[in-house]
Amino acid sequence: MKIAILAGDGIGPEIVAQAVRVLEVLKSDGLKFELEPGLLGGCAVDAAGEPFPEATRRLVTDADAAILGAVGGPRYDMLPRQLRPEQGLLGIRKMLGLFANLRPAVLYSELANASTLKPEIVAGLDILIVRELTGDIYFGEPRGIEQRDGQRVGFNTMIYSEAEIRRIARVAFQAARKRNRRLCSVDKMNVLECTQLWRDVVTETNKEYPDVELSHMLVDNAAMQLVRNPRQFDVMVTGNMFGDILSDEASMLTGSIGMLPSASLDDKNKGLYEPIHGSAPDIAGKDMANPLATILSVAMMLRYTFDQEAVAVRIESAVKKVLAQGYRTEDIYEPGMKKVGTKGMGDAVLANI
Amino acid sequence: MKIAILAGDGIGPEIVAQAVRVLEVLKSDGLKFELEPGLLGGCAVDAAGEPFPEATRRLVTDADAAILGAVGGPRYDMLPRQLRPEQGLLGIRKMLGLFANLRPAVLYSELANASTLKPEIVAGLDILIVRELTGDIYFGEPRGIEQRDGQRVGFNTMIYSEAEIRRIARVAFQAARKRNRRLCSVDKMNVLECTQLWRDVVTETNKEYPDVELSHMLVDNAAMQLVRNPRQFDVMVTGNMFGDILSDEASMLTGSIGMLPSASLDDKNKGLYEPIHGSAPDIAGKDMANPLATILSVAMMLRYTFDQEAVAVRIESAVKKVLAQGYRTEDIYEPGMKKVGTKGMGDAVLANI
Ligand SMILES: [Mg+2]
Ligand SMILES: [Mg+2]
């Protein structure tokens, strides 16, 4: 097992350092893997002149998984588009064929107050959204803006093949098997043929996973139901665009974006794991950032790439205990709790693992 | 002024009857108009063999506006697609060229508890979402499912011309002028060229309305911001698909869908006005349905088609007073309030108008 460690920019190095401490404890307990650092994003532009340099390409090709902090910062915003840190992220996703984006929306009861929703609606929320990441209207051709009959017309193409739908459906069914075996597929089949095919293929794929209960929901209703009663969902699966919208809506239901990890997987469960929050340059280097989303990304890696469910749960339980003990970084602080910095939060997790 | 009254199916006749009572009071106060009833939906299938019969087509062509209750019910679900009640609705929208859908999401302070969001986040919410209704990926060509290289591929086309964008932008800017003069346009310009054109044309149209403050937001962020802090918005404008998703999400923020009206306008402000809720066949004929969304649809008609802002406000104020007095239909009832039926709620509004 080889894990690439891509600290990135802004708060990336600080939060990834805490995730590495967790990995080292697991290693001393007998888990076998090597960690190898690499450069991605703005730090790679600074050191090597491009956001996804050759050395990093070799590293992530060889590795079984990668942990990423975050990339980007105002220093890099004036660079030409191909040198921007975000291009490093797009480059790694594309080169590795990471078509399956897994976005948990989990709200620990201790943080229920952080949500704008009533605690009785969201406490204990635990949804996993599986978003297709390399197809759909974001990549479909033809696309563009052109002159037609004397005026500009803009157009894009929503497109999915049955092979693309089947492989993301399989990821979702398998993820549902690791959870409560309920999968809700989201589409707009009453209007869009592309998503009629989506529904057909997901329904066919259910035959390979008869132990998972499949339901379907239209995307506009899904956007409502996430507000009305989000705990009705276990795993949701949808295309790239609907997944973009719904996974962000679902994250915000928790009110604590500093707590949420994510995974992007290829067809062999090789994965890139990262918090959903950004590089937060305003608090970089101040020992203020919340490292829990990155630590929870390590748990996701153990679950999805290395199939080490027990170790994943061990990390997640440690995070829960830390919250129950009252430790809070600035972003999730409430009066009466114990405020800690990035390293202090790492210490608290290590003490509970 | 001629107003078509299309009661429709299920609870439609009961709720529209209360709206007609409100109109008759206004008429006796000097407002000049004629009301003419027509058949649309399942009742039209029963009486004339089709959901949008010739007599109704003539009626709505001649009329300046139409008030619709709701269409549909389980009795009609087994009919062939072209005879389904919903086809009546699509038919009237298409024949009249109703390209602008106006969807208010308003939460009266008295009903703040009905929301799943905390009262301090949503009490007093008052957003207007302007959704383009006749273009975008729901109507774009080419579209379909076909065999390519031995597998099925599904595809649809997102497309907007600058003329289509400009006319909906104008409706939104004009609506913003009747409110707080702030317009947020929602797109996905960082990925979709079609919506890059959307942003460009909306920005250009702002020059015609320099008194309205325009901002832009990406659709995934908009879905988050509606949860995080919905009161930041005044008017939002977006395409057909994003509007479908966001207007339903915004409605659900209020927790009281029986309170929400809507308008669909053509380019001369001729309009179809209807509650966003359905025909609720389970409570039809039981004097239980909430008529307030239909009554508030009358207020929207007076504001947008007839430019009678003062009379619109008079109706809306009456509704607010009724809520302050504690009158509640079943769907919005809370202990300690005065439960009334459909007609009782109509009586209460008339007493306050
Ligand atoms: Mg997004
Ligand atoms: Mg909808």
Nearest-CA distance B175 → chain A (Å): 24
Residues by chain with Cβ below 5 Å of ion ligand 1: A 244, 248; B 220
Q: B156 and A196: CB-CB below 8 Å?
A: no
Tens digit of pLDDT for each residue in B244-265?
999 999 999 999 899 999 999 9
CA-based nearest residue to B102, from B276, B335, B290, B279? B276
Q: Would you state the pLDDT for residue A219?
A: 97
Q: Which residues of A are annotated as a binding site for NAD(+)?
A: 73-86, 278-290
Q: How far is the CA of B302 from the centre of ligand 2 (A)?
A: 25
Kindly list the distances between the CA atom of residue B226 and the CA atoms of A140, A249, B253, B345, in Å, as whole numbers in the listed order.
28, 8, 8, 31
d(CA A189, CA A222): 13
Q: Would you state the pLDDT for residue B63?
A: 98
Other CB atoms within a 10 A radius of the CB of residue B82 amount to 9
Q: Would you state the pLDDT for residue B215?
A: 98
Q: B153 and A143: CB-CB below 8 Å?
A: no
Other CB atoms within a 10 A radius of the CB of residue B133 amount to 23
Contacts of B221 in chain A (CB under 8 A): 248
Tens digit of pLDDT for each residue in B134-176?
999 999 999 999 999 999 999 999 999 999 999 999 999 999 9
Nearest-CA distance A142 → chain B (Å): 9
Q: Would you state the pLDDT for residue A77?
A: 83
Domains assigned to chain A: 1-98+266-353 (3.40.718.10), 104-133+160-256 (3.40.718.10)
Contacts of B204 in chain A (CB under 8 A): none
- pLDDT (mean) for B102-114: 94
Q: Would you state the pLDDT for residue B110?
A: 92
Q: Which residue has the tokens 């320099």?
A: B210
pLDDT less than 70: residues of chain A: none
Q: Would you state the pLDDT for residue A304?
A: 95
d(CA A301, CA A26): 13
d(CA A105, CA A274): 14
Tens digit of pLDDT for each residue in B195-245?
999 999 999 999 999 999 999 999 999 999 999 999 999 999 999 999 999
Q: Would you state the pLDDT for residue B78?
A: 86
Q: Is B188 considered catalytic here?
A: yes
- pLDDT (mean) for B116-133: 96
CA-based nearest residue to B191, from A314, A137, A233, A76? A137
Strands B327-328 and B338-339: parallel
- Asked if A292 and A319 touch (Cβ cutoff 8 Å), the reply is yes
Q: Would you state the pLDDT for residue B90?
A: 87
Looking at this protein, which amino acid is placed at residue B223?
A: A
Q: How far is the CA of B93 from the centre of ligand 2 (A)?
A: 15
H or E element at residue B309: helix B309-324
3-state secondary structure of A262: strand
Where residue B77 falls among pLDDT bands split at 50, 70, 90? Answer: confident
Q: How far is the CA of A252 from the centre of ligand 1 (A)?
A: 11
User: Cis ω on the peptide bond leading into residue A142 (within 30° of 0)?
Assistant: yes
Q: Would you state the pLDDT for residue B235?
A: 98
- Asked if B186 and B236 touch (Cβ cutoff 8 Å), the reply is yes
- Asked if B267 and B167 touch (Cβ cutoff 8 Å), the reply is yes
Q: Would you state the pLDDT for residue A81?
A: 80
Instruction: Enter the tokens of residue A108.
Output: 């620990």
